[in-house]
Amino acid sequence: MTLRRSLLILTAAVSLAACNAAAVKTAASKLLGPSASPAVKPAAGAPQIWLTLVSRGIKFPMTQISQRDGVTIYASKDGAQVFLRNGILIGTRGFGRDLMSADAPSPATLRAGSPHQRSYYDLDGTDTTIRHVFTCKVERDAAAGNAIAEACAADIGTIRNQYWFDSAGSVSKSRQWVSQGVGYAAVERKDG
Amino acid sequence: MTRSKYLVLCGLCGAFALPAQAEMRPSLSFSGVTGLIDMPSGDQQSDGTLSVVKSQFGPIGRTTLSFQITPRLSGSFRYSSVKDWFNPPEDGITTYSDRSFDLRYQLTSEGRYVPAITVGLQDIIGTGVQSGEYIAATKTFGDRVKVTAGLGWGRYGSYGSIGSPFGTRPTVDFGEGGTLRTGQWFRGEMAPFAGIEWKVNEQWAVKAEYSSDAYVEEAENRATFERNSPFNFGVEYTTKTNMRLGLYSLYGSKIGFSVQLALDPKQNPRGGSRGPGPLPVTASAAAKSWGPNWVNDRGAQTAMRDQTQAILKRDGITIESMAINANRVHLRIRNTKIANAPQAIGRTARALSATMPASVSSFEIVAMAQGVPLSNVVIRRADLEALEFAPGADLTMDQRVQILPVAAALPEGAIRTDGLYPRFNWGLTPYVATSLFDPGKPLQANIGLRLTARYDIAPGWVFSTSIAKPLYEGIERSTFPSNSKLPHVRSDSNLYTINGDPAVERLTLAWYAKPAPELYTRVTVGYLERMYGGISGEVLWQQPDKPYALGAEVNYVKQRDYDQLFGFRDYSIVTGHISGYYSFGGGYHAQLDVGRYLAGDYGATLALDREFANGIKVGAFATLTDVPFDTFGEGSFDKGIRISLPMSFFTGAQTQKVSKLTLRPLLRDGGARLSVDGRLYDTVRTYQESDLDAAWGRFWR
């Protein structure tokens, strides 16, 4: 009759799962928790950005740790990362439901105002890759400082990315969708 | 419909798109299946959902574990109890307790006009007290109202019958239980039931139903409660964490409550895995220079290994050995922290890109367990560089890597890491041991401390022990000692629990080896488990690229003394099995064991599991042997449910800890197997192609 583990443990584990979802918000100011140690120490004086996770209401600096094949990787102090290709977000690591990869438009496509398709790849809870294909059109956002807005629709809903370009034609500021679990990330160059 | 409105609205206000929260999540009934209050519905849970429902009204209590086996098929295991059933008491007991098992199949999922229709069979192999069949249809109106109507037989046809279209329900002598009663299905009185659920808002829902269950035995024959009305009403509250709490008025006389917990493996409670991002891939053009003659320079090679190890340490990866030539590196690693195997391989590959000379174009990463190599994952350095930022890179990478067999012998010139052996680890953890379903006391528990220690003497040689010391002993001597007609190979389990203070649960010396690239062996000697000691030998044949494996195990064991120290009882036996393992794809796995069991009975065990790449596993097993059902006793044959829940799924942290649960309605002596630690298949399969493919999404994490 004796069983080493029981329904009780399962119940506990299930309720643990339930509790943890609530705990995310309170731990939000620290993305990864105390035990995290980053993969790379950035070089002194490396370029920095501000990253804001809009739905979590947290903002933190990230420092460039790598640049290869036109993609720049920035890392936070606790090791979370974003991948930007010419300012366009193509990946995150350590944010929860991460953007694993993306088929994203180039800044030129956006500035030209061309309609396009883009794909976001993320992982569901079973670690299965899910591809979300969005159909997008590009419009001027006069109300938001003449930003270029990318309005996209897919079966999971609609999103709206915004990009602000500097005089040299580079993305200086943006607000880009990451995933259903993370929401929007706002990216800004950090001066100095 | 409002879903799209909601999203458009959000699009306009610039907020972010949300998953389809506005839909009505199918709720669970008092019986723990998808349903209304006491009646089932036509809905199903989301594929793979594991749920637990605890409910109680008046004398009736139920605890139900359910699993959505496929998108249309679900199964439930239920423990139910009825107070004041025995009057006068029998053997000092007044409460009747019973276990039952249900299967439900959804014929149609809900469409624009078509309702969701489900056929259910309740209590199909138990004693049949709970048995009933139903067909239920559920349709959603708008996004806040669900209406259910159905027809029931058996229990569900016992009130307000409208006839017996399929003939009378035969009475069945259930004997010891455990057999299917197909002859009863959909026979006898048929009665309609119906109900409605209104979702007031995201938190609150209100329900009303008309029940076709007369509670003939509980209310009429045994008067454990009064059934005054067929109408039930309830209100349910959903917490932010998807737990539902319900309060109900039942049958015009009782107040009831239920707690519903559901776990959907597709919904990670933490959103995803936490922890720092990886080391970015280093271009070979920017690779480290190690001088002109590193190929022959052991010192330079040792430095390469040490630098690689310094990077991997953070991820809990230990390099056991490294062999390198001008264009290939062969690295053997032990992964102690990251639960996802492809992620550990991906991190190792990136570290190699940072440390290897530019001419090394091929990375061979060999995962080790118990000192034995499992497979050789060959990654082209060029692919690593080309795909790091490519859309859908995991799939492309998965297609380009090779997974090859690997021999135990190291390649020529390999540099072993010094100081890995001998190695000592130990841990002291609290534990809870439970005793379930004892007729007198269905739930009892011991709480104590468990000391585990492991000494790796040399590669493949492991000395280990586990000692438990109960601090609180809630489990009492059972007032129903085993009456088994077979040798008491398992049914005296209670005696072991109450006498083991402290208990040496395990004290073994194990030897793992790999005589051929696709052949694994294990020999374990000592006190193998809490009830048996002896010697156990196992062989496993597994090709990396095949979805199947074959194994054989032979054990000679002697039954241990109840005190679980070093003495033995008189019973000894040679037991063993031939095992076949097969992965059907899509996470469905089967295992068939044929052989001789602990009581000397011959037979076979079939286990079917649904597994997810995140490590959650849910399965069921059944054993038929040459022991006749009436000799076996209650339950007729051995069967149960097994569940694995990885801690990493719940915490998002990098840990390989897994909670395992095996639930048997009855533990008796027929079809019983030895429970030896370190069986080969579970360790070996993790790094073979079919398991790696399933989990490959995290290669780039």
Mean pLDDT by 10-residue block, N- to C-terminus, for chain A (192 residues)? 40 39 37 62 89 93 94 94 96 94 95 94 92 95 87 94 91 95 93 59
Q: Which of A126, A156, A162 to mutate to test the interface with B (most CBs of B within 10 A)?
A: A126
Neighbours of B221 (CB within 10 A): 10
Contact B150, B193 (CB under 8 A): yes
Taking CA atoms, A122 is separated from A181, A183, B279, B437, B653, in Å, by 10, 13, 19, 43, 18
Chain B: give the shortest CA distance to residue A42, in Å.
Answer: 11
ipTM of the complex: 0.86
With CB atoms and an 8 Å threshold, state whether B700 touches A8.
no
Output the six-digit token pair for B476.
């009492």
Taking CA atoms, A30 is separated from A26, A38, A60, A95, A96, in Å, by 9, 13, 10, 10, 12
What is residue B136's three-state secondary structure? strand
Over 90: is that where the pLDDT of B513 sits? Answer: yes
What is residue A43's three-state secondary structure? coil
Q: In this predicted structure, what is the pLDDT of residue A60? A: 94
Contact A61, A75 (CB under 8 A): no
- A180 chain-B contacts, CB cut-off 8 A: 17-19
Of A13, A79, A100, the CB nearest to B645: A13
Measured over the CA atoms of residue B36, residue B38, residue B41 and residue B47, the dihedral's sign is: positive
With CB atoms and an 8 Å threshold, state whether A20 touches B651.
yes
Over 60: is that where the pLDDT of B261 sits? Answer: yes
Output the six-digit token pair for B469.
């010391």
The C-alpha atoms of residue B259 and residue B304 are separated, in whole angstroms, by 57
Give the mean model confidence (pLDDT) for residues B341-358: 96
With CB atoms and an 8 Å threshold, state whether A123 touches B272.
yes
The C-alpha atoms of residue A85 and residue A133 are separated, in whole angstroms, by 19
Give the mean model confidence (pLDDT) for residues B468-489: 89
Q: Which of A127, A129, A130, A174 to mutate to test the interface with B (most CBs of B within 10 A)?
A: A127
- A13 chain-B contacts, CB cut-off 8 A: 645, 650, 659
The mean predicted confidence, pLDDT, of chain B is 91
Chain A: give the shortest CA distance to residue B613, in Å.
Answer: 5
Helix axes B298-312, B341-355, angle to 10 degrees: 140
| Residue found under tokens 């174009």 | B361
With CB atoms and an 8 Å threshold, state whether A21 touches B667.
no
Instruction: Give B696's DSSP letter.
Output: G
With CB atoms and an 8 Å threshold, state whether A18 touches B243.
yes
Contact B598, B573 (CB under 8 A): yes
The C-alpha atoms of residue B45 and residue B33 are separated, in whole angstroms, by 9
Q: In this predicted structure, what is the pLDDT of residue B413? A: 92
What is residue B344's three-state secondary structure? helix
Q: In this predicted structure, what is the pLDDT of residue B654? A: 85
pTM reported for the whole predicted model: 0.88
With CB atoms and an 8 Å threshold, state whether A68 touches B280.
yes
| Residue found under tokens 């990787």 | A73
Helix (H) or strand (E) holding B601: none
- A36 chain-B contacts, CB cut-off 8 A: 274-276
pLDDT band, very low/low/confident/very high, at B481 (cuts 50, 70, 90): confident
The C-alpha atoms of residue B381 and residue B367 are separated, in whole angstroms, by 18
CA B660 to chain centre: 7
Of B17, B433, B698, the CB nearest to A123: B698
Give the mean model confidence (pLDDT) for residues B568-586: 96
| Residue found under tokens 């027809």 | B151
The C-alpha atoms of residue B188 and residue B333 are separated, in whole angstroms, by 64
In 3D space, the residue among B286, B60, B136, B163 whose CA is nearest the CA of residue A69 turns out to be B286
State pLDDT tens for residues B661-695. Answer: 998 888 899 999 999 999 999 999 999 999 999 99
- Give the chain B residue whose CA is nearest to the CA of A180: B18
- B79 chain-A contacts, CB cut-off 8 A: 7
